[in-house]
């Protein structure tokens, strides 16, 4: 487990330590835009078959690293493994996305939910983390992750993804006590799950708050950020002789950057609607920043991708504390060569900001 890291610039940047070039990874970097991923998924039979087989999860986690000089690997899994382990019965409908066989509708439903034991109920994820760490052999750090309590709650109450979150928001306003009880149970579950991943070998963790930005300002602070803060306070922050950085990412969270920066994490992820230079001025030296190129720029020519990378690097400016990433996950239609041009541009153009 203690194999020395050959490339630790990702971890160093998250802790605002000096780096030679800006590190880069991509959300959803192991995914459908890669033909080798599509072949592995076909072999696994379906998406959950891939997630629940530690060897195959390891195989797809490493695929982008065979192609590109990325500075981190991210565990191949899904944010909905936690509600699945709580007994809601996750399945994927072709063209429809994730669905649950059971939904959470009442205080009694919430009361009945267990807090999953990471080793017993989510052992396949812990096995995948251990397998990936072994196979990485110190090449780059491994990122573990989870969904945020609010994001997980929306899927559990709606029974799947939603355009307007009408059931979850009705519960939030009609029965805030029940929603708080659900979020509290999810915060306990996510804390245990992420700590399990850290013990198994994850060297940094990210909390994905995909739907926090759909809340009003007051509701975001009370029903989303408060629970992420609770998780951050309960995480193992040092393991295996080094710090374990924590990244919080709220999509459409630009309104609340100062509040998120005060939540205790080491870094905050930005979507592409924020200007990274302004974000840096707003949060000062409190946290590192991760992001934040619009993923659809990858549909453009390599020269345009390079120009956009140059613009974002210049906006962030001199010094460490920037992890380059997309503002959300890479999309399935992207040409893998364009992803390569993006990564190359970050490494080539960023050296001047670290002298």
Q: Residue 291's Cα: distance from chain center in Å?
A: 12
How far is residue 154's CA from residue 188's CA, in Å, rounded to a whole number? Answer: 17
Choose, from 33, 37, 68, 155, the residue flagged as catalytic: 155
DSSP 61: H
Asked if 291 and 326 count as a contact pair (C-beta separation under 8 A), the reply is yes
Choose, from 9, 33, 37, 78, the residue flagged as catalytic: 78
Active site annotation includes 28: yes
Q: Residue 305's Cα: distance from chain center in Å?
A: 23
Active site annotation includes 38: no
Alpha helices in the chain (DSSP H): 9-14, 35-44, 47-51, 54-67, 81-83, 107-112, 118-121, 123-136, 149-158, 166-174, 176-200, 217-219, 226-234, 257-261, 276-283, 302-316, 336-350
How far is residue 31's CA from residue 309's CA, in Å, rounded to a whole number? Answer: 22
Q: Binding-site residues, please?
A: 28-32, 78, 155, 210, 328
How far is residue 70's CA from residue 26's CA, in Å, rounded to a whole number? Answer: 8
Choose, from 12, 33, 37, 41, the residue flagged as catalytic: 41
Q: Binding-site residues for substrate, please?
A: 28-32, 78, 155, 210, 328
Choose, from 28, 139, 242, 282, the residue flagged as catalytic: 28
Catalytic site positions: 28, 32, 41, 78, 155
């Amino acid at each position: 487990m203690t194999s020395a890291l050959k490339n630790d610039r990702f971890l160093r940047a998250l802790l605002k330590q000096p780096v030679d070039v800006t590190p880069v990874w991509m959300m959803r970097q192991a995914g459908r835009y890669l033909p080798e991923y599509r072949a592995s998924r076909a072999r696994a039979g379906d998406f959950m078959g891939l997630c629940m087989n530690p060897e195959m999860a390891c195989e797809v986690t490493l695929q982008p690293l065979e192609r590109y000089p990325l500075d981190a690997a991210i565990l191949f899994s899904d944010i909905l493994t936690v509600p699945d382990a709580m007994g809601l019965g996750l399945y994927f409908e072709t063209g429809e996305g994730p669905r649950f066989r059971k939904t959470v509708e009442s205080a009694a439903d919430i009361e009945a939910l267990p807090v999953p034991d990471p080793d017993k109920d989510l052992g396949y994820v812990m096995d995948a983390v251990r397998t990936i760490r072994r196979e990485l052999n110190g090449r780059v750090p491994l990122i573990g992750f989870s969904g945020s309590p609010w994001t997980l709650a929306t899927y559990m109450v709606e029974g799947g993804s939603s355009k307007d979150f009408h059931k979850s928001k009705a519960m939030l306003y009609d029965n805030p006590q029940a929603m708080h009880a659900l979020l509290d149970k999810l915060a306990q579950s996510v804390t245990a799950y992420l700590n399990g991943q850290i013990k198994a070998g994850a060297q940094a963790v990210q909390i994905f708050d995909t739907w926090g930005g759909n809340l009003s300002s007051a509701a975001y602070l009370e029903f989303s950020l408060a629970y992420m803060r609770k998780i951050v306070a309960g995480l193992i922050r040092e393991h295996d002789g080094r710090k374990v950085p924590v990244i919080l990412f709220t999509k459409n969270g630009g309104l609340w950057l100062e509040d998120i920066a005060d939540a205790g994490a080491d870094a905050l992820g930005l979507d592409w609607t924020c200007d990274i230079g302004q974000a840096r001025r707003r949060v000062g030296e409190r946290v590192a920043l991760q992001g934040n190129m619009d993923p659809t720029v990858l549909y453009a020519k390599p020269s345009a991708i390079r120009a956009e990378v140059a613009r974002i690097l210049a906006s962030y400016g001199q010094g460490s504390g920037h992890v380059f990433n997309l503002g959300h996950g890479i999309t399935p239609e992207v040409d893998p060569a364009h992803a390569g041009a993006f990564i190359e541009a970050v490494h080539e153009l960023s050296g001047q900001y670290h002298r």
